[in-house]
Amino acid sequence: MSKIIHLEVLIATPPTSKCEETVKILQEIVHHHPNEARLVVFKRGIDFMPDELRMKEYMTEEDYVPKEPSIQMRQLITKGRAVPTVIVDGVLFSTFDVPNLDEVEAVVQKILLSAGAR
């Protein structure tokens, strides 16, 4: 059984250009590793907000599906972290800046190699 790498990103609502670019990079990683990588996008002002405070004008159908964040993402959302914030397999990867595709790929490859060594 192969390892599933969880990619989580916290973005602004509505998304900034940095947020949109970050999501595209992470989608590219999932495209390269369709059986090993999963992407979950959390939107500030929508996810983990009481229903009456949600920014419904920006919600899509996908936003109504419950999402299960890692402990790290839950803590970052609670603290009001800068966006975009990327967590790769439970570890903070980047915040405020758009991650480099090659750097994300290198981390994913390292995780997959270490999982295969077990």
pLDDT digits (tens, 9 = 90+) for 101-117: 999 999 999 999 998 75
Who's near 22: CB < 8 A, 6+ residues apart?
Answer: 9, 11, 84, 86, 98, 99
- pLDDT category of residue 10 using cuts at 50, 70 and 90: very high
- pLDDT category of residue 59 using cuts at 50, 70 and 90: low
Give 5-116's CATH code, choosing from 3.40.30.10, 3.30.365.10, 3.30.450.40, 3.40.190.10.
3.40.30.10
Nearest residue to 11 (alpha-carbon basis) of 22, 19, 23? 19
d(CA 109, CA 28): 14
Encoding tokens for residue 65? 């599906």
Q: Tens digit of pLDDT for each residue in 82-103?
A: 899 999 999 999 999 999 999 9
CB 13 within 8 Å of CB 58 = yes
Q: What is the pLDDT of residue 5?
A: 96
Question: Domain coordinates of the chain in residue numbers?
Answer: 5-116
Question: Is the pLDDT confidence value at 76 over 90?
Answer: no
